[in-house]
A and B are shown apart, each in its own frame.
Chain A
Amino acid sequence: MARRVLILFAHPILERSRVNRRLLDGARDLAGVTIHDLYEEYPTFAVEPAREQALLAAHDVVVLQHPFYWYSAPALLKEWLDLVLQLGWAYGPGGTALRGKLMLNAITTGGSAEAYQPDGKNRFTLRELLTPFDQTAHLCGMTYLAPFVVHGALRLDDDGDVGPHVRAYRALLTALRDDTLDLAGAARAPTLRVEAGGRP
């Protein structure tokens, strides 16, 4: 059975994006994948919880796609989490709406893969830095998967540089949709990469 995929996209200044924009454009024509552009939908940050909850309920996989600002997400995505994941709906007594769904982050970083190591410039691995998202998913009964990461985004300049990442992102989304992913492995992995063939 095909899974329905929701991309919650958060980028405050998409006009200057080089990687995220291309990743997003690459996902637009995928059937079964919904793109929800938060900064376009809520330019004043007035997130409507009921609408967002309905959207979540209609999907099985939640992909938080965003640049990895200050080891976290842009402000609107945080606001979105704060307002939408309500007690009694997403967690707590009676909060079972998200149970069994999948969640992951799809992020771009300025730093290289080596920078996100215990002995690297950023001192922590990405999985460590993403633990707030991991625990958020866990509290809501969702399975949290390893992140899809594009490192060194500032050095990627044109379609030639970004192309392989776009193809990898499409392959991941397709695998998530078609349920061809080894979920147990994907939950443990440091980061998520799916080759065009669909094998992790």
Chain B
Amino acid sequence: MTDTVLFQAFVYLCAAVVCVPVAKRLGLGAVLGYLVAGVLVGPNVLGAIGGEGKHVMHFAEFGVVLMLFVVGLELQPSLLWRLRRSILGLGGLQVAATAAVIAGAALALGVPWRAAIAIGLIMAMSSTAIVLSTLAERGQLKTSGGQAAFAVLLFQDIAVIPILAVFPLLGVAEVTAGAEAGRPAWMTALLVIGAVAGVVAAGRFVVRPAFQFLATVRLRESFIAAALLIVVAIALLMEQVGLSPALGTFVAGVVLAESEYRHELEADIEPFKGLLLGLFFISVGAQIDFPLIARDPGTIAGIVVGAMALKLLVLWAAGRLFGLDRPARWLLAFALAQVGEFAFVLIKFGTDSKIFDGAVAAPLVAAVAISMMLTPLVFVALERWVLPAVTVDTSDARPQDAVAHDDAAVVLAGHGRFGQIVARLLRSAGFRCTVLDLDPEIVDVVRRLGSKVYYGDASRIDLLHAAGCARAKLFVVAIDDAEQATAIVKTVREHFPGLPIFARARDRIHYYELRKLGVAVARRELFGSAVELATEALRALGLRGHTAHRMARRWRSHEEHALEEMAAMWARDEARTNLFARLRQALEEAERIMRDEDPRVAAGADPGWDNEAARSSRRPDEAPVEPPPP
């Protein structure tokens, strides 16, 4: 029974469902959850999956391919062009320098020079799968550090091809590199160029009309199938010409990044990508050969720590050379310190080429897997200790007298169109906001403006602590997603009960909900500007400026009172019908109030100014009633 596909699916899904939420809850990230799940179900602990782990891994590598397609979809060609310096320069430097340093270390330890070079090249690779998904999960992909990491990974993906070509030259045995066998070099080059050009052309001229047609059919399944078909077809084509499938689908993604179906494609591929990547990480976990590690823990530990430390140093120095600022440099160095999945492929190929034998390969495989497993922990260390330290440094450098008030007086979740205005007004008045945002581009901008800013989901407790919620006077929720805003409010209320919350409400219902949750002040996001526009419209329709303003002010105050009253009804869980009745009543009241307020209509609501009232209360033979007006 253990051989059936269904049983295996059961095991993998079980492991994922149990381990991933636990890891997430502990703030360790989904990747570590999958890896631990792999260890648990692997041959060394539960033994639920056995030797087929490698086959599963081969299949699961398709998750990496899908991921690069999605990454490509999010990258406009213009952005890629801007990154060209990082990709070629930083990426090239990292691969060459890391390979050289690690090869040197291996030589010093007595490894023959051919094997040393091969090991250097293998260890230079980082894990595209782990790093990109972790950076995306933490919202750091588009920061300067994240971009640099992405550029280096992209170069590594490309570099695998020439490395595969070089390995046979290092080896003693004659092996052939995949499909390139028997073709002259110029033909290979021509095929590669032709394939990439074909992908670009197809993206432009075939995929679009095809999707247009599919969109008219309105069948969601066919859309999903088409999206998968694109990726599979490109992967196949790339394998045929000897290019990395991941690279090919990445190019296709970039080509389609500007099409109107971009979001549709992304949404369709996303679940497959997630599941297959999860599978990939589980199989990495399952492959760790614990008996081998147990036999020689010192060597393995030495390889892991040595390789990661050397990689980290080289990355840090390269980042410095390329002018990355301190947080970005540290992010790059920590993110790419592990050895990646391409190493498995290269190690196997190295063994096949007889560059080294199995006795060398086995500890290498274990070390690579362990270094991948350590990556989520490295990220946690980076976020908890390293980034705060390097960020605090820069804020200390700011002149003290420029800031009149406590830095952490206000924590602001969301720095979009709404939060930005809040932050700017508060900042103008001398109150600095600590900003939390999920959009890396926004985060970059805010950081450049000199504000303290944290990436990530504001409902994460560790992030709230890091942002200084314990000392803050006010918490402002300004994000656009209503459900997320509610979730953040709940978390903050639960963990910082004394911290007043000011929140942006999407609409009436959201307003009621926020008030019910104990938000001190809520404002509907479009209400204020709509009232202002309507006020100007009244002026354009011939009302006096002050009259329009006064009427709008009166209307607004009535509207806000009624809203508050209805929020109280909502909080008492009163029936919807009561609410609707109250709403109708409020609308009628508003009309009546406005009639009273309108100076063009007789008998006003501002008796202080009202000549009519003064006239009618005066008897004809009497002296005029005095003020107003006297």
Please list the residues of chain A having a beta carbon within 8 angstroms of any beta carbon in chain B: 12-18, 39-44, 67-71, 76, 108-112, 115, 121-122, 152-155
Contact = CB atoms under 8 A, between A and B. Distances in A.
Interface of B: 544-550, 599-600, 604, 606, 609-612, 614-615, 618, 623-630
B551 to A, nearest CB: 11
Contact of A115 (B547, B549, B604, B626): B626
A13 B614 contact: no
Contacts of B630: 68-71, 109-111, 122
A85 B550 CA distance: 26
Nearest to B615: A154
A70 B628 contact: yes
Nearest to B608: A69
A68 B600 CA distance: 22
The 7 closest A-B pairs by CB, nearest first: A43-B545, A15-B599, A43-B549, A39-B546, A43-B546, A67-B629, A110-B624
B314 to A, nearest CB: 60
Contact of B624 (A16, A42, A76, A155): A155
B599 A16 contact: yes
B624 A111 contact: yes
Contact of B610 (A16, A39, A40, A44): A16
B629 A16 contact: no
A41 B615 contact: no
A191 to B, nearest CB: 15
Contact of B618 (A41, A108, A154): A154
Contacts, number: 85
Contact of B628 (A18, A69, A112, A155): A69
A110 B548 contact: no
Contacts of A108: 629
Contacts of B627: 69-71, 110
Given A112-B623, A112-B624, A68 B629 contact: yes
29 contacts: A13-B547, A13-B604, A13-B606, A15-B547, A15-B599, A15-B600, A16-B611, A18-B611, A39-B544, A39-B545, A42-B545, A42-B546, A44-B549, A67-B628, A67-B629, A68-B629, A69-B630, A70-B628, A70-B629, A110-B614, A110-B625, A110-B628, A110-B629, A110-B630, A111-B624, A121-B626, A122-B630, A154-B611, A155-B624
Contacts of A154: 611, 614-615, 618, 624
Given A39-B545, A43-B549, A152 B624 contact: yes
A40 B626 contact: no
Contacts of B625: 110
B592 to A, nearest CB: 19
Contacts of B599: 13, 15-16
Contacts of B547: 13, 15, 43
A121 B630 CA distance: 10
Given A15-B544, A16-B604, A39-B544, A110 B549 contact: no
Given A16-B610, A69-B629, A155-B624, 7 more contacts: A12-B546, A13-B547, A44-B549, A69-B609, A153-B629, A154-B614, A154-B618
A153 B615 CA distance: 10
A85 B549 CA distance: 26
A25 to B, nearest CB: 14
A40 B546 contact: yes
B601 to A, nearest CB: 9
B554 to A, nearest CB: 13
A122 B624 contact: no
A122 B544 contact: no
Among B548, B549, B614, the most chain A Cβ lie within 10 Å of the Cβ of B549
Contacts of B544: 14-15, 39-40, 43
Contacts of B600: 15
A12 B545 CA distance: 10
Contact of A111 (B545, B610, B626): B626
